[in-house]
Amino acid sequence: MRGALAILSKDLRIEWRTRESLASVFVLGVLLLVVLTVAHDPTPEAAPALAPAVLWVSFVFTGLAGVQRGFLLERENDCLAGLLTAPVDPADIYAGKLAANVVLLGATQAVVVPLTGLFLHADFWPVLPGLLAVLLLGNVGFAALATLFSAVAARTRARETLLPLLFLPLALPLLIGAVQATQAVLAGGLGAAREAVAVLVAFDVVFAVAGWLLFAYVVRD
């Protein structure tokens, strides 16, 4: 636990110092939203219906870009060896990285969600609590899976190109659940989204536990 917290604060400190991920997330998020909106060019009446899908697709792609860095920064100066020679359980390393990614993805959502609302004339205020809950669940599930596989991708020859390939097929249930849940929440609040939310919760639990257990096999040679 102590190790996880140390890694979390270390990652956040580095991120704050360089603001690399934040900057690229912001720019990429804006660009993606513009492209998606402009490509479809919906009428103001039709636009809100697109919001859930556009929101989550943008989140997925900006999120992937942001999460990459988590393990690439451990490659520099062989820092991962520093972690592995410390009396820290690999599972704690996973937990720390997962927490850092959740924070980073939260920042991603803070950019993507308001902009989606703006570009697609979708009003999120009335359903904000429900929406935040769905965003959090989607965030955690994404981070759980992405943390595990960004470690894998960072340690292979193909590096960054491999992460979307490994991650996206497995993350489809999350994407489906998140879009459905968002749609339901926008229509009728959190209660209406019960089924989809259940899928999200299940996804989060399964992959957080799986990541916790399997991470050691990825990092220990």
Partner 1 sequence: MSDPPVRAEGLVRAFVGTPVLAGVDLVVRAGEAVVLLGPNGAGKTTLLRILALLLRPGGGRLALFGTEAREAPPALRGRIGYVGHESLCYPDLTAAENLAFYARLFDVPDATARIAELIGWAGLELAAHRPVRTYSRGMAQRLALARALLHGPDLLLLDEPFAGLDPEAVAMLQRCLGGLRAAGHAIVLTTHDLERAAPVATRLAILHRGRVAWTQEGAPEPVVVAAAYQAVVAGRA
Partner 2 sequence: MRRSFPPLVCASMLAALWLVFMAVPTEREMGIVQRIFYFHVASAWVAFLGFFVVAGASAVYLWNGARRADRLAEAAAEVGVLFCTLVLVTGPIWARPVWGVWWTWDPRLTMTVILWAIYASYLMLRAFGGEDEAVRRYAAVLGIVGVLDIPLIMVSVRLLRGIHPAVITRNEGGSGLTDPWMRAGLGVSALALVLLAAWLIALRMRNARLGEEVAALRREALAHGGEAA
Q: Which residues bind partner 2 (CB under 8 A)?
A: 145, 148-149, 152, 155-158, 161-162, 165-166, 168-170, 172-174, 176-177, 180, 195-196, 198-199, 202-203, 206-207, 210, 214, 217-218, 221
- 1 binding partner 1? (CB under 8 A): no
Q: What is the CA radius of gyration of the chain?
A: 18
Residue 5 Cβ, how far from partner 1 at the closest point, in Å? 8
For residue 154, what are the contacts with CB-CB under 8 A and spacing of at least 6? 68, 71, 72, 74, 75
Q: Which residues, in sequence order, are CB contacts of 31 under 8 Å at separation 6+?
A: none
177 binds, among partner 1, partner 2, none (CB under 5 to 8 A by kind): partner 2
Distance CA 83, CA 10 (A): 12
Does residue 88 bind partner 1 (CB under 8 A)? yes
Judged by CB, which is closer to partner 2: 9, or 161?
161
Q: Which does 118 bind (CB under 5 to 8 A by kind): partner 1, partner 2, none?
A: none
Return the number of the residue (90 or 138) whose C-beta is nearest partner 1: 90
d(CA 214, CA 96): 15
Scan for tokens 């960072």, then name that residue: 154
Residue 89 touches partner 1, criterion: CB under 8 A: yes
78 touches partner 1 (CB under 8 A): yes
Query: Count H helices, E strands: the chain?
Result: 8, 0
Site for partner 1 in 4-23 (CB under 8 A): 5-6, 10, 13-14, 17-18
- Confirm if 4 and 95 have CB atoms less than 8 A apart: yes
State in angstroms the smallest separation of the CB of 193 from partner 2. 10
List, in sequence order, the alpha helices (H) in 19-127.
20-40, 47-75, 79-84, 90-119
Binding region for partner 1 (CB under 8 A): 2-3, 5-6, 10, 13-14, 17-18, 73, 76-79, 81-89, 220-221
